[in-house]
Amino acid sequence: MKLFLVDLGDEQQNMTEVSRERCLQMVRNERLQKVQKMKNQKNQNESLIAGMLLNVATGLHEKKAENLQTQECESSKSEDMEIVSLTVKQLIDLYSTQYDYELTTENNGKPIYEHKPDLFFNLSHSGNVVVCAIGSSPVGIDVEGNRNIRLNTAKRFFTEAEYRWVGEGQLGRGEESVITAESDEQQACSENPTIEQKKRFLRIWTLKEAYSKLTGEGIAYGISQVQFLPDSRGNMHMSYVNKSLHEEEKLMSLKEIKIREYEYKGYRIAVIER
């Protein structure tokens, strides 16, 4: 599995009309129509780059390039996943219609390659960052940037255990190590969450989003079906909260799940692979 990333940061404002027009001429017609329906140019650019990125990521994966540095890409290793950073110029240079594979959707609406049953991908974008995960296993990815967070949202959508863990992030400001149920309630519902609470909220939210995109069932399904909590070493683990599932099915599914998390310039990225 590889993770490809484009940071539009400075390029978002300096993206020339020439490079934009070139991208518009290169992407698949379906992507072009999607872009043209958007009124906000920033959203147009993100969607446009997502289409370009999928093509280039697919090409690099298919060619199984062992040394991406020869393509002047910034590459790093995190656990067993390679992270490749690309620029808009590189997307234009590397784009090839050879990898504009036909797309279709599963019954749940999740996009897949129609004639590539062993190739899986997922896209996400937020703020200035566009990401694509691609590999030989079903995958879901989500990226979230700086955003206003009200922790009563966690109370509405997270499990009780998740909500309490987010609320305990208040300890980052030096409070007592033992939190009563009452004080925990007050902290987690604060309209001015601590930096640690924001991080914890985004960790769980991006994981739930990634899981929902893995299954293709949507965020409502991800919220109601699964729970994410850290172990003693801080690594996140998933468990099911839907009691209707048979225990054997739960255990088998959990054994197949791989969870990866990344921080990038204030963004949270979650990848869940099966």
Segment 246-274, tens digit of pLDDT: 676 777 678 889 999 999 998 999 999 99
Q: How far apart are CA 159 and CA 66, in angstroms?
A: 43
Query: Which of the two residues, 108 and 48, has the higher pLDDT score?
Result: 48
Q: How far apart are CA 184 and CA 197, in angstroms?
A: 12
The pLDDT of residue 80: 56
Q: What is the pTM of this model?
A: 0.84
Q: Which amino acid is at 179?
A: I
So where are the chain's domains? Answer: 2-136, 152-262
- In the predicted structure, residue 11 carries a pLDDT above the cut 70: no
Q: Which CATH class name applies to 2-136?
A: alpha beta
* pLDDT, tens digit (0-9, with 9 covering 90-100), for 143-183: 998 777 777 788 888 999 999 999 887 644 333 323 333 34
Q: Which of 207, 202, 201 is nearest to 188 (CA)?
A: 201
The tokens for 216 are 């293709």
The tokens for 139 are 């995958």
Q: Are 268 and 202 in contact (CB under 8 A)?
A: yes
